[in-house]
Amino acid sequence: MKSLIINKDDLRHNINIIKELAKLDIPDDNGKKYKLIGVVKGNGYGLGLIEYSKLLIDNGILTLAVATTEEAVDLRKAGIKEDILMLSSTSLEEDLRLLIDNNIILTIGSEECAKIVKKLNNKTDKKIRAHIKIDTGFGRYGFLYNNIKSIVDTIKELSNVNIEGIYSHFSLAYYKRDKWTIKQFNRFLNVIEALKLNDINIDTYHICNSPAFLNYPEMHLNGARIGSAFLGRVDCENSVGLKKIGQLKTSITEIKTVPKGYNIGYLNSYKTKKETKIAIIQVGYMDGYNITLKTDMFRFVDKLRGLSHSIKNLLRKDNLKVMINDKKYNVIGKVGMYHMAIDITNSNIKINDKVYLDVNPLHVDGKIRREYI
């Protein structure tokens, strides 16, 4: 039986590091305290939407964020009463009505969305809460940063809606001192300044996701959306001691000895150099292990980085290892859909011994049990 192991102490360790960096207890110049928003999209980044959300709440992260209406409703059905921000702007009236009925904080990112919110606001006795999304160069959700009139007019027309926050999203914050990231940030600041000149003051400003939060402390403003950093699997340099969350646990199902020169796995990609004792485990790429997601890289510099990373992996002799009885062993042959072979020569490993594999929880099949320890 496979399970995804989630170490609660390590998770708390990561949460506390982020909280310290955010200086949660220190008010800004306007007396407002920092707002950390825990992003739990993608089944709680693979950790299990409900249990992970409850753990964040228990550790002082009192605002959650989701990407779909279904995630938001599932949290409410599970009895979670804390603030939930819907990160996707939508002009679908049915979805907006469902979000409002469940007391979800909306994201308003277009005039069309705002018109429907205003219409629904006139039909409900619920107080609608929302954040405004600004597109500073990501090209997805949000008002274009330079369409100040549309932003101002929309907010003023939503006078009966509680606009609690305004935010944008970086597209390239994985790299430090990036000129494009700085440009996006300045565009966002210009929008905030324009709103203030029009007597529009909003409580919470946030633009940092996990990579930006770590790479650009000067851009923290008074809020941030943290997802991958809580898991210690952020796509940037980890220089603050975050621990990786997520291990796949399984058991050895078969053991056999094969002769020298014997093929292991598909494509005959591995041939034993001597008589080899191998263990078989029922884990493969369908479980989320050693999968490679297709990257749509268009910039030449990003293609070079991807090529460099691939070459480094190719040159490594110990690319894939698993942990058995507190010792690392090599995976040999091509990883299959649901199985793989491990070289356990000169060991006393037995059937049913436990095997632990490092894996990104986001990629782990949702049917595999999440085990918090």
Q: What is the pLDDT of residues 19-41, one digit of tens each?
A: 999 987 776 766 678 999 999 99
For residue 302, what are the CA distances in angstroms to 172, 180, 291, 295, 308? 11, 14, 20, 10, 10
| Residue pointed to by tokens 């796995």 | 265
Under 8 Å CB-to-CB from 348, ≥6 apart: which residues? none
Question: Letter for the amino acid at 80?
Answer: I
- Residue-level pLDDT at 309: 46
Q: Encode pLDDT of 59-73 as tens digits.
A: 999 999 999 999 999
Q: Is 42 left (phi over 0), alpha (psi -120 to 50) or beta?
A: left
DSSP alpha helices (H): ranges in the chain?
A: 8-22, 41-45, 49-58, 69-77, 93-101, 111-121, 148-157, 179-197, 210-215, 300-315
| Residue pointed to by tokens 């990003």 | 302
Distance, CA of 356 to CA of 269 (rounded, Å): 24
For residue 351, what are the CA distances in angstroms to 1, 241, 284, 341, 344? 13, 36, 18, 13, 12
- Residue-level pLDDT at 291: 80
For residue 77, what are the CA distances in angstroms to 40, 70, 165? 15, 10, 25
For residue 369, what pLDDT band results from cuts at 50, 70 and 90? very high
pLDDT at 360 over 70: yes
CB 254 within 8 A of CB 10: no
pLDDT at 299 over 90: no
* Domains of the chain in sequence order: 7-231 (3.20.20.10), 247-372 (2.40.37.10)
pTM of this prediction exceeds 0.85: yes
Under 8 Å CB-to-CB from 310, ≥6 apart: which residues? none
In three-state secondary structure terms, 245 is: coil
Tell me which residue of 221, 322, 314, 319 sits closest to 280, measured CA to CA.
Answer: 322
In three-state secondary structure terms, 251 is: strand
pLDDT at 143 over 70: yes
Task: Kindly state the average pLDDT of the residues 51-56.
Answer: 98
Give the lowest-confidence range in 7-11, 156-160, 200-204, 289-293. Answer: 289-293
pLDDT at 220 over 80: yes
DSSP 8-state secondary structure symbol assigned to residue 159: T
Residues acting as catalytic residues? 41, 266
- Side-chain-facing half-sphere of 53: CA atoms under 13 Å: 27
In three-state secondary structure terms, 14 is: helix
CB 85 within 8 A of CB 99: no
Helix (H) or strand (E) holding 205, with range, is strand 204-206
Task: Indicate the average pLDDT of the chain.
Answer: 92
Q: Quick one: 154 exposed, middle or buried, by C-beta within 10 A (0-12, 13-18, 19+)?
A: buried
Strand partners, 357: 248
